[in-house]
Amino acid sequence: MQLSRSYIVDAALEILDTYGFADMTMRRVATQLGVAPGALYWHISNKQELVAAIAEAIIEPIGVRLATTPLSPDELCTSLREFLLHHRDGAEVVAAAMSQPQSAVRLKIFEAVTSSISEYFDTQILSPSDIEAAATGLTHLTVGAAALHQAGLQFAEATGEEFDADNEWQSQNAVRLLLAGLRMKELESQNGK
């Protein structure tokens, strides 16, 4: 059976879900595929690229969800959060991939959030820089809070303590505050006309 990029991504994702990000090494992916470590480098140029690919796979469901149902910015962020939490260390992986410049993941999330904002706010009235700021703000917020949440979950699991899940609401609350700010700007500009 021939090795390929998508087999590699699948194997890596499986290791991620089972053992976590720290164990998602090139060598373990290779072992899982029954192949020498060097073999991976014929299909993928380096680990960064693999991480980026995994991150895209993690957020891919938001694309298919958005294709059928239109989501408000609020709902979109909740959805994104959900998909991040759906994989072990999912938020951490996406955060790592996002802060690589020219990152495809960031662009995709950014575009999804921006288009959602455009449908629920008046683009003619709002300044583009406010929309941009809102989109990046919402993204960082959601991913950052999710990463923290997952770290807390794993810590609780490891130590056997029970876990405050109140940052579930915190994230959504912060999203709503930011969107409320955007709505206010919209109203201000409308009246200022």
Residues that bind a second copy (CB under 8 A): 92, 95, 98-102, 106, 129-130, 132-134, 136-137, 139-141, 143-145, 147-148, 151-152, 155-156, 167, 169-171, 173-185
Of 7 and 110, CB closest to a second copy: 110
155 binding partner (options a second copy, DNA, none; Cβ < 5 to 8 Å by kind) = a second copy
129 binding partner (options a second copy, DNA, none; Cβ < 5 to 8 Å by kind) = a second copy
115 binding partner (options a second copy, DNA, none; Cβ < 5 to 8 Å by kind) = none
Q: Return d(Cα 44, Cα 115) in angstroms, integer.
A: 32
Q: Which of 6, 14, 18, 48 binds DNA (CB under 7 A)?
A: 48
Q: How many Cβ atoms sit within 10 Å of the Cβ of residue 192?
A: 7
Q: Is 47 in the site for DNA (CB under 7 A)?
A: yes
Q: Is 153 in the site for DNA (CB under 7 A)?
A: no
Q: Return d(Cα 186, Cα 181) in angstroms, integer.
A: 9
Beta-carbon contacts of residue 81 (< 8 Å; ≥ 6 apart): 142, 145, 146, 171, 172
Q: How many Cβ atoms sit within 10 Å of the Cβ of residue 148?
A: 15
- Closest residue by Cα to residue 41 from 58, 27, 52, 20: 27
Site for DNA in 1-30 (CB under 7 A): 2-3, 23, 25-28
Phi/psi for 154 (5° steps) reads -65, -35
Positions in the binding site for DNA (CB under 7 A): 2-3, 23, 25-28, 34-39, 41-43, 45-48
